[in-house]
Structure 1
Amino acid sequence: MMKYFFAIYITVFLFTANVFSQGKAITHKVEKGETIYQIAQKYKVTPFDIYQLNPDAQSGLKPNSVLLIPNKSGKQILSVPTKTNVQSQSHDVIAKETLYGIEKKYGISDEDLKRANPFLENEGLQIGQTLTIPSKNTPNNTVVDHDKFIYHDVLAKETKYSIAKKYGISIQELEKRNPEVVDNLPIGYRLIIKGMAPKAEKVTEKVLEKVTVKAEPKGEKEKQDLKKALTIVEYISYEVKPKETLYSLSKMFEMTQEELIALNPELIEGVEIGMVLKVPSKVPVSIEDKKEYKLLSEKVIYSNRKRMVLLLPFNMANIESDTINSTFTRLKKDKFLNMTLDFYAGALIAIDSAKTLGYPIDVDIYDSRETKNSSEVASIIQNRNLVNANAIIGPFYQSNAETAAQLLSVNNVPVISPLSKDVGNPYGNLYQTIPTNEVIKGAMFDYMRSNNGNIIAVVDKKKESIVQYIKQYQKEVPFVAFKDNGSLSAESLKSMLVKDKLNYVVMETGNTWMIKTTIAAMLSSMPAYQVQLVILEPNETLDTDEIKYLNLTKLKLMYPSVTSDYVSPEAAIFEKKYRKVNNIFPSDYATRGFDLTFDTMIRLVQNKSFEDTVNSAATKRGENKFEYYKKEDGGYTNKGVFILYYDTDMTIKEAN
């Protein structure tokens, strides 16, 4: 090993000494924020030239480190034609500036600006940044010689495919002109493109899929291939979320900023929250990819014991000190205590199931003695040494769950809030397991859009919260009109239906006559249109005798729900065991107690941390889904929502 090290050291030393002896290198001290491309441009060399003398620089530049830079005479070793003078300038980013605005100001493309400033890919545009502005005419890594040949300096993360596509040539042509890169593509290497200019991308009125046409098709096969490639993309609507920028939107929808603006000219004035954009339907409408639902039980690790704690509000001291009401009477009156006991009963079944499976988990259960405004959570955490726990389920009240999360944040102990819907304060280790009302409604609209449906809204004027929600978050959804007498216009509803699409009619009203009018209009339209009735919130009026259940099944009434309203095989097993132990059917709280506790335990026995399992997989347990996503301001929220519908066989099913 020492001989090997010594040989490498001598080789490097002799190579460096030889470079200096020939007067072909100078030194450069790296300043904070400098990139390899800026340094190469400063000394009129390529990044590959620098990497040849400084191989460690490929892993990143460190401030105050010293680089060897080949001088002008040394650059002749590459034997390439003299390049034109490609000048650049700098630009300091100020408030409210956008990448699009800067690119238009200097007349450069988004691609060229990011090549000159690679940090934009990861960091985005930030106030105070100093940008290198490349020449208007030529990308900063494209070199043109006097004989009109084109050379390309390879940047980090570029591939032969991306480079060939950029210049409108095939990978085979690229490799033929540069046989040195057949097996490898070094960063900074100067490729010979030879006589081909970067292709211009245009946005047509109908947004054609991108196609590189190298020559006129000669045969019938080429004509057919070209015809298939030139397919028209249908559009969907997308609502801009907080903190989204023109840059992030273009990356999400795999479009250039120019293409996005061509479809949505209002973006020239800037990006605003709530904007409804027109985008191609072939791209996802969600910022984050949906997590894959997995069965974690296949990867259980039995070697390390874990500690799980339940903090449940039994408030035993209050029960014992109550001299007026008996325990039985108090149980009849105290709904909160009943909810706690039901949750606890379900959790015990989960703990027993985990024990049967041999999961190496120790479980502690403590009375959190909490009310909405007070608790003993802090003293329990201190006295019971809960900082060493691997996960804590509870407390029930949001404020108390936040207290626990704050006290345990130093050790990043997961605090799992079992029942609260409040958004609350952000703590990185706090997990909200109940989806918020906005998430539930949003899941319904996301589902309808994923099916490329035509969405229209029938909303009673008394449902002000729903009206405001749609206007704020679903702006592109039109409202069906009302007549002068205040009744719903069936003609308006029918006029909004679209053929060859599934028409989702979102109905929110408690008015029986309005419900009947909507249903009648939809039923009469069924011979010519595909229609489905949708509600966003539970509607008691639909359960009355005045509304025919058969009509709801004909229209396949669909709705979002935190829990499933059908019995899965897993839920049936739990229900049977619960009835055997408690002689009654489990309530929703009991079922949730089982699902949440078992899900937490199975995440604890994986070969990764609880947080890592949350980031990598979603799960479905009985009647509940756990699809956690990290919130922008900290902590996790559950977006696991069931989309259910009434089927024509009179059963409730989950929509695919």
Structure 2
Amino acid sequence: MKQFFIVFLSVFLISFSGQAQENVKHTVAKGETITQIAQKYNVTPLDIYTLNPDARNGVKEETVLLIPSKNKAVKVPNKETKPSQVSVSKEAKTHVVQPKETPYGLSKQYGITLADLEKANPEIKEAGLKIGQTLKIPGSKTVREEAPKELTKKEERKVEKEEKKAEREAKKEAKKEEKVESKTSEVVYEVVPKDTKYSISKRYGISIEELEKTNPSIKTDSLKIGQKLVIKADVSKAEVVQRQETAKESPKQETPNGEYTSYQVKPKETLYSLSRQFGLSQNGLVALNPELEAGVREGMTLKVPKTVSITAANDKNFTDLTKSISKKDRKELVLLLPFNVSKVTNDTTATIQSRLKKDNFLNMTLDFYSGALVAIDSAKTLGLNIDVKIFDSQENKTSSAISSSFVDANLLKADVVVGPFYQTHAEKTAQLLSKNNIPVISPLSKDNSMVYSNLYQTMPTTDNLKGAMFDYLNQKSANLIAIVDPKKGSIKKYISSNHPNVKMADYTVESMKGLLVKDRMNYVIMETENTFMIKNIITALVAAKTTYQVQLVILEPNDKLESDEIAISSLAKLNLLYASVTRENETPEAAIFSKVYKKKNNIFPNQYATRGFDVTFDAMLRLSQEKSFEETIFDNATEQVENKFNYTKNPAGGYSNRGVYILYYDEDLSVKEAR
């Protein structure tokens, strides 16, 4: 199977569609006409009109049009065929009002009448639009229209002139509408709790300078509750009163105690994701930052707690995201895998076989890739609305293909990027995509030196493993004892600094035995690689089991325990307890994955193939929810074939996976998960 991969490595861009893509979406640029757009896509204006009937009345900048693909041109009835009937309908939706929007402009944007918009939202007829207001956009009734006839070049030119004329008229009408709706008023506003100059100026669409100009005293003095301010703004007096009453009646906001720092809002962040990120309710975050009342905007500087309150990993429920799939929006996932095609392009078959025997990194890449392909097939079976693109990251320890130009050409439209493999290159990718807040998932590395808010570490670190073990032990109300080799000073310091409830034994078996207690479970943490000492500790604890409840614990992997000198039966008697990134999965779902993988590759999946499946499939499922990707990170822990994904926000930035298994040796010599 790997030889098959090598032969086709040169084709490293793969497109995957959960559904057939017959049409292309085009966003109209300023000054563009239907004729110009048709020429750009090598279709006729009639093709565009057939899919976009409203376009006959003219198109505006930012209008989204459906363009038929070249291979799927819209069929046009010939002269002898009677015009067919087509149905046009639009579903109801909602719209959040943005600055400078008008009812007239919105009615045009959604292809409805102003009367229909006002009927669905009676409040805008009396009070006008408010920034951040959620409007109901009614769906248009189903109508039946005759399919358009083919246009001659003369008719096309005429339509083009009509488009430009309609666009000019629309702009004039929009300006008239804005003038009719806006009336400059001078009213008195009473300051309420939590008001700031910024929040008041934003609430009424004026600058702080304008507010200070009409109220000179607030230039030097702070605002006082009950203070009267003169407001000059393009709003009605009734609306000012209404806004002030709303401010007075707003519920009391909680304000966290402690020190604060500033945080700049990234693209795609929402009030919900920010509140979860900083451990506050949405009301609490608004209380600290009243300007959020007007909505979250990229680049805003917020006041946030200096110490981030992180939701404990085990507070989340593990969720099966296949039961809440949304196919509404099409997403794009990019895999950056280090095929290093340039190195093997000119190799012979014999050279490729030789390389496969020696190049462990290439073997790991191909295993991960083979698992990712099974994930893509599984996503296709579920009908996920995702495009997957795969690029060669051409990476080694010191270099990669990742650069600004590579990112601009291939990654800026991605919703999530998986890879590269080396942490330094994953960090560089995250840095280049941080302005767009595109999540970058590091699939294999445990190390991290640089912190970026959009970087997701999927491999739990050694500290995560130790933390998960102590979380488990501390729930048991047990007696905790540690016997640590003097050579392992860092572990001894970690335990004494973070877990003072642990009794530290001298590096002797007698000292350890003296700390055992009756009538409680005794967890004995053993950290040494001295084989003689390991055997003595195990012998002493097996003997102690006749009197005490004892279980052996390790915090870090220990190769000496897997040597022939240490009997696995003794470890089983002591139910050796340890933390692990993966587990053996014997569920029916895991069996199906192994069966499908073996059928495709003639071999059972190894750990890298399984991880390729787990990381890719988990990312695709998170992209296919009603929530944003970031919201699934805050809300949902997941479990795939062998790996858990339970992300938490790091105080310094970025996300770590705390999805760790606590496993133990059972007396039947099997490995089981501790509950």
State TM-score, norm by structure 1.
0.58
Contact 2:407 2:432 in 1 (8 A): no
Unaligned runs of 5+ in 2: 1-121, 128-187, 200-222, 229-240, 262-282, 285-304
Q: 1:288 to 1:627 in 2, by over 3 A?
A: closer
Name 1:496's counterpart in structure 2.
515
Q: 1:521 to 1:244 in 2, by over 3 A?
A: farther
Contact 1:570 1:621 in 2 (8 A): no
The counterpart of 2:323, out of the listed 286, 292, 298, is 298
Q: How does 1:447-486 map to 2 (within 5 A)?
A: 447-482=472-507
CA distance in 2, matches of 1:26, 1:635: 42
Name 1:350's counterpart in structure 2.
375
Name 1:630's counterpart in structure 2.
649
Amino acid at match of 2:620: M
The counterpart of 1:419, out of the listed 437, 441, 444, is 444
Name 1:70's counterpart in structure 2.
none
Name 1:56's counterpart in structure 2.
246
Q: 1:382 to 1:244 in 2, by over 3 A?
A: closer
Deviations 1:200-252 (A, max 9, x none): xxxxxxxxxxxxxxxxxxxxxxxxxxxxxxxxxxxxxxxxxx9769xx8xxx9
Deviation at 1:585, TM superposition (A): 2.3
Q: 1:537 to 1:523 in 2, by over 3 A?
A: same
The answer as to 2:594 corresponding to 1:575 is: yes
Name 1:403's counterpart in structure 2.
428
Amino acid at match of 1:554: K
CA distance in 2, matches of 1:2, 1:441: 57
Q: Which has the higher contact order (CA 8 A, sep 6+)?
A: 2
CA distance in 1, matches of 2:531, 2:621: 46
The counterpart of 1:121, out of the listed 255, 280, 285, is 255
The counterpart of 2:627, out of the listed 590, 599, 608, is 608
Deviation at 1:126, TM superposition (A): 5.6
Name 1:368's counterpart in structure 2.
393
Deviation at 1:54, TM superposition (A): 6.2
Deviations 1:320-356 (A, max 9, x none): 2568981111111111111111100111111111112
Contact 2:646 2:657 in 1 (8 A): yes
Deviation at 1:382, TM superposition (A): 3.8
Deviations 1:350-401 (A, max 9, x none): 1111112221211111101112222112256446442111111111111211
Contact 2:554 2:578 in 1 (8 A): yes
Contact 1:568 1:623 in 2 (8 A): no
Deviation at 1:626, TM superposition (A): 0.3
* 3-state SS of paired residue (2:315): coil
Contact 1:619 1:626 in 2 (8 A): yes
Name 2:298's counterpart in structure 1.
none
Unaligned runs of 5+ in 1: 7-24, 44-50, 62-117, 128-155, 158-241, 253-285, 483-487
- Counting aligned pairs with the same residue, the percent is 50
Name 1:653's counterpart in structure 2.
672
The answer as to 2:557 corresponding to 1:534 is: no
The counterpart of 2:533, out of the listed 488, 511, 514, is 514
Name 1:266's counterpart in structure 2.
none
* 3-state SS of paired residue (2:391): strand
Deviation at 1:563, TM superposition (A): 0.8
Amino acid at match of 2:521: L
CA distance in 1, matches of 2:480, 2:352: 52
Contact 2:189 2:244 in 1 (8 A): no
CA distance in 2, matches of 1:299, 1:433: 22
The counterpart of 2:542, out of the listed 502, 523, 537, is 523
Q: 1:612 to 1:342 in 2, by over 3 A?
A: same
CA distance in 1, matches of 2:591, 2:623: 24
State TM-score, norm by structure 2.
0.56
Q: How does 1:372-383 map to 2 (within 5 A)?
A: 372-378=397-403, 381-382=406-407
Q: 1:524 to 1:391 in 2, by over 3 A?
A: same
Deviations 1:281-328 (A, max 9, x none): xxxxx8666221110111111232221111100101012256898111
Q: 1:527 to 1:39 in 2, by over 3 A?
A: farther
CA distance in 2, matches of 1:603, 1:650: 37
Contact 2:577 2:665 in 1 (8 A): yes
The answer as to 2:579 corresponding to 1:554 is: no
RMSD value, Cα: 3.6
Q: How does 1:161-310 map to 2 (within 5 A)?
A: 290-310=315-335
CA distance in 2, matches of 1:42, 1:394: 56
Amino acid at match of 1:376: A
The answer as to 2:342 corresponding to 1:317 is: yes
Q: 1:500 to 1:572 in 2, by over 3 A?
A: same
Q: 1:324 to 1:599 in 2, by over 3 A?
A: closer
Aligned residues: 418
Q: 1:496 to 1:574 in 2, by over 3 A?
A: same
CA distance in 2, matches of 1:291, 1:53: 38
Q: 1:126 to 1:548 in 2, by over 3 A?
A: closer
CA distance in 2, matches of 1:2, 1:609: 30
CA distance in 1, matches of 2:646, 2:551: 27
Amino acid at match of 1:329: S
Deviations 1:34-66 (A, max 9, x none): 99xx967999xxxxxxx99963333569xxxxx
Name 1:21's counterpart in structure 2.
none
Name 2:158's counterpart in structure 1.
none
The counterpart of 1:392, out of the listed 409, 417, 441, is 417
CA distance in 2, matches of 1:29, 1:620: 48
Amino acid at match of 2:491: I
Divergent runs of 4+, >4 A: 1-6, 25-35, 38-43, 51-54, 242-245, 286-289, 321-325
